[in-house]
Amino acid sequence: MAKVVVDAMAMQRALTRITYEIIEHNKGIDGLVILGIKTRGIYLAERIANRLKQLENATVPVGELDVTKYRDDIEHDSTENDPKVTVSKIDFPITDKKVILVDDVLYTGRTIRAAMSAIMDLGRPQQINLAVLVDRGHRELPIRADFVGKNIPSSQHERIKVSVSEIDGQDSVEIIDR
């Protein structure tokens, strides 16, 4: 049983609101960089960057972050231990920047912790803020999002499925009872 809790329009609105909140919070976009956590976080990051560009007529750099090997809850293949082997794409410095970390769903917090580790490996930003499309609760770490599209209190038996039109053909957030 899948139930759509955020439709395309609502998702657009959530991203619009997050964009304005980012401007409000940072008093503009100076020194801002956006890092999307793969896979869907990247598309959301790009959309936020597009919106900022529309409003401020300035480009905010967008990077892609792959945090798989930083996850403490996934066992890693020892051959992948070379720190240079990374699929993250960040071709700009992040030291002293204000980083907006973007992901689709905030759940246990472990992805975000891993993402912060990844970022710290790359440089020393001035600050890191977190924007998520959905906060579904059930945190296992002391992590909190600064910008939330929608709070969806969910049971652990449910799955939250975020679709973005770039790869899924539609924009939606669904709750799936498993």
Partner 1 sequence: MAQRFLILEDGSAYPGIGFGAGATTTGEIVFNTSMLGYQEIITNQIYHNQLIVFSQPIVGSIGIAHDGYESILPTTKGVVVRDVTAISKNRQRSLSLDKFLKQHNIPGISGIDTRHLIRKLQQTGTIKGSIVDVADDHAFDQLHATVLTNQQVAQVATPRPYPNPNQGYNVVVIDFGLKHGILRQLSKRDCNVTVLPWQATAQDIINLDPDGVILSTGPGSPLDLPQSVLEMIQTIQQRMPLFAIGLGHELFALANGSEVSPLKLAHHGANHPIRKIITNEIIYAMEGQEFVVNPDSVNRDRLITTYVDLIDGSIQGLRHRDYPAFSVQFFPDGAPGPNDSVDLFDEFMEIMGTRE
23 binds partner 1 (CB under 8 A): yes
Site for partner 1 in 56-115 (CB under 8 A): 56
14 binds partner 1 (CB under 8 A): yes
Piece of 18-26, 64-72, 108-116, 169-177 that binds partner 1 (CB under 8 A): 18-26
54 binds partner 1 (CB under 8 A): yes
CB 91 within 8 A of CB 117: no
Say how many C-beta atoms besides its own lie within 10 A of residue 22's C-beta: 24
The SS3 of residue 137 is: coil
Piece of 9-17, 37-45, 83-91, 96-104 that binds partner 1 (CB under 8 A): 9-17
Pairing type for strands 158-163 and 172-177 reads antiparallel
E-only strand ranges, 29-145:
32-37, 62-65, 98-106, 127-135
Piece of 14-22, 70-78, 89-97, 124-132 that binds partner 1 (CB under 8 A): 14-22
Options 40, 51, 97, 110; binder of partner 1; rule CB under 8 A? 51
CB 157 within 8 A of CB 168: no
